[in-house]
């Protein structure tokens, strides 16, 4: 039994989302996590995850191991007992710790594969709920964005303490993702923004209000089939992220490179200080934007169509 799940990227609203403003995120189907479950002749549950150099028996892993915890919580939710001998193969093309939702994608693919294997297929809502429980287990206070975008494979509009909303683009559009290759220390950047906010709340609340307007307008443009208008919003959002001190020389250089190469707009994506930037490009020029980013020092690029 095979199952897969895509990656994800934040389009607008990172950091402001912590302060109860909306954020937009979209699936990235050019990268994915694949899981295959089959019966095994060997005793126990054999796990093979070549991307992270893991070959192990489930019983040998601690219960809080990222993969073991998904298997154990899924089996518990399905009420499977006793557990038959299984072989699990997990492969992923989603870069780890790059803000692309690699952990949530593996969780969703594992839950899908196991529930279908045991003839107990879960609907998307149940998969999402279980994946969120696993995210909470590892991240304490996750937003729920990653697991929702990845489970439903749809764009998401998210605001803290409000129900997450999925929505459909009125017209496809193309995003080029450029990876700085620098690990994105999200906790550190979130903590730094909090310190700035505590020091001057009126100023930073005003910034978050501006970003909230950008996210709301972006959703409107996407739903109404006018994605070409997102470029200017990206540029503005990036300026506010610079004011929040979460950009970096490397991110700024890639953002500027994308604009000069013909992108309609560009910004950092995610926690900042490293990780990824994104650019809105015409499908015909996406390859040349990606090439310019590689020449400017990006470690990898992904061209994805949001539809």
Helix (H, G, I), strand (E, B) or coil at 171: coil
**Domains (ranges, CATH) in the chain?**
2-166 (3.30.230.10), 173-306 (3.30.70.890)
Buried-state track 194-219, b at ≥16 Cβ within 10 A, e below 16? eebbeeeeeebeebbebbbebbbbbb
Sequence-ordered list of residues with C-beta below 8 angstroms from that of 221, at least 6 positions apart, any chain: 227, 229, 230, 233
Is 252 designated active site?
Answer: no
Catalytic member of 34, 64, 124, 146: 146
Query: Residue 276's pLDDT is what?
Result: 94
CA distance 117 to 287: 39
Query: Residue 185's pLDDT is what?
Result: 67
Query: Residue 142's pLDDT is what?
Result: 75
Block means of pLDDT (10 residues each) for the chain, 307 residues, are 96 94 96 97 94 91 92 94 93 87 94 96 94 81 85 94 92 97 83 95 98 98 97 99 97 98 97 94 97 98 96
């Amino acid at each position: 039994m095979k199952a897969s799940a895509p990656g994800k990227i934040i389009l607008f609203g990172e950091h402001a989302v912590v302060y109860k403003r909306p954020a937009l995120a979209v699936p990235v189907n050019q990268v994915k996590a694949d899981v295959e479950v089959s019966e095994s002749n060997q005793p126990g549950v054999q796990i093979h995850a070549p991307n992270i150099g893991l070959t192990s028996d489930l019983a040998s892993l601690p219960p809080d191991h990222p993969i073991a915890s998904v298997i154990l919580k899924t089996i518990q939710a399905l009420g499977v007992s006793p557990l038959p001998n299984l072989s699990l193969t997990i492969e992923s093309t989603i870069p780890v710790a790059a803000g692309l939702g690699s952990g949530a994608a593996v969780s969703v693919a594992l839950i899908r594969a196991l529930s279908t294997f045991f003839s107990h297929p879960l609907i998307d809502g149940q998969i999402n709920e279980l994946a969120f429980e696993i995210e909470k287990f590892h991240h304490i206070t996750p937003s729920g964005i990653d697991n929702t975008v990845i489970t439903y494979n749809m764009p998401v509009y998210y605001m803290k303490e409000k129900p997450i909303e999925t929505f459909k683009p009125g017209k496809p559009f193309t995003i080029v993702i450029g990876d700085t290759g620098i690990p994105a220390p999200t906790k550190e950047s979130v903590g730094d923004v909090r310190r700035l906010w505590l020091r001057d709340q009126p100023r930073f609340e005003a910034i978050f209000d501006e970003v909230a307007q950008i996210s709301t307008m972006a959703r409107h443009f996407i739903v109404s089939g006018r994605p070409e208008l997102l470029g200017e919003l990206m540029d503005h959002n990036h300026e506010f992220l610079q004011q929040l001190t979460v950009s970096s020389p490397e991110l700024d250089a890639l953002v500027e490179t994308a604009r000069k190469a013909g992108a309609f707009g560009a910004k950092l994506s995610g926690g900042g200080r490293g990780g990824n930037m994104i650019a809105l490009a015409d499908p015909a020029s996406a390859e040349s934007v990606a090439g310019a980013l590689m020449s400017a020092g990006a470690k990898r690029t992904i061209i994805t169509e949001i539809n």
